[in-house]
């Protein structure tokens, strides 16, 4: 059963990579995990910085993305995205790395979670147990700040610059944890 799930996931990943639907920066890590006999990946995001508008309950499916970057950002990147803001609530976000990894058994899930803890990916845990074991790996370097309301920016340029600085620092921390995790999973 595990092998069937893994084969399906790897076929899906090949199609997503060739269709450029996977964050290019994370492909090396996905390949490394998928090369391990007890694991396979099902979904991923390298981490990103986002400017988006949404309703007050801040549901992802209701987002209208104005800017989305899988890299550090400049003040002008963010201000350009803010220029397209119309209504609702405007958010500046830093989303950390997230991976879903299928595991052969509870022991393999425990081993990968131990590596997560050692690398600072502390918001990780078992996401699903049946019909297959899925571990969700998630970083902690996040930031969610409302900065506009009803089409009006509620902060000044200095605060947007400050958010860019903090956001870029969190994004770089996220990248460091990804590399550390990549180095350590070889022990699995």
Q: What is the pLDDT of residues 169-185, one digit of tens each?
A: 999 999 999 999 999 99
Q: What is the mean pLDDT of residues 114-136?
A: 93
Tokens of 177: 């944890």
Give the separation between CA 41 and CA 20, rounded to whole angstroms.
Answer: 17
Q: What is the pLDDT of residues 139-162, one digit of tens each?
A: 999 999 999 999 999 999 999 999
Identify which has the larger pLDDT, 63 or 78.
78
CATH no. for residue 168? 3.30.1960.10
With a CB cutoff of 8 Å and minimum separation 6, the contacts of 151 are 85, 86, 87
φ, ψ for residue 55, nearest 5 deg = -75, 175
For 55, the domain range is 2-187
Q: What is the pLDDT of residues 10-63, one digit of tens each?
A: 999 999 988 888 889 999 999 999 999 999 999 999 999 999 998 766 665 678
* CB distance 137 to 98 below 8 Å: yes
Position 128 scores a pLDDT of 87
Say yes or no to pLDDT of 186 above 90: no
Percentages helix, strand, coil for the chain (3-state, rounded to 5) are 45, 30, 30
Tell me the H-state helices in 19-121: 27-34, 75-82, 106-118
Say yes or no to pLDDT of 188 above 90: no
Q: What total of structural domains would you count in the chain? A: 1
DSSP letters, 120-171, are T--S-EEEE-SSSEEEEEE-S--EEEEEEETTEE-S-HHHHHHHHHHHHHHH
């Amino acid at each position: 059963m595990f092998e069937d799930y893994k084969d399906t996931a790897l076929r899906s990943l090949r199609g997503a990579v060739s269709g450029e639907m996977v964050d290019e920066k994370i492909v090396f890590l996905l390949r490394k995990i998928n090369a391990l006999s007890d694991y396979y990946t099902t979904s991923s995001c390298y981490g990103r910085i986002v400017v988006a508008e949404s309703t007050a309950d801040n549901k992802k499916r209701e987002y209208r993305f104005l800017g989305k970057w899988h890299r550090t950002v400049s003040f002008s990147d963010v201000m350009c995205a803010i220029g397209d803001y119309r209504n609702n609530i405007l958010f500046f976000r830093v989303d950390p790395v997230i991976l879903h990894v299928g595991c052969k058994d509870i022991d393999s899930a425990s081993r990968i979670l131990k590596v997560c803890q050692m690398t600072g990916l502390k918001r990780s845990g078992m996401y699903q147990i049946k019909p297959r074991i899925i571990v969700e790996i998630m970083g902690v370097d996040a930031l969610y700040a409302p900065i506009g309301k009803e089409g009006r920016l509620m902060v000044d340029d200095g605060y947007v610059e400050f958010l860019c600085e903090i956001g870029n620092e969190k994004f770089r921390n996220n990248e460091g944890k990804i590399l550390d995790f990549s180095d350590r999973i070889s022990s699995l």
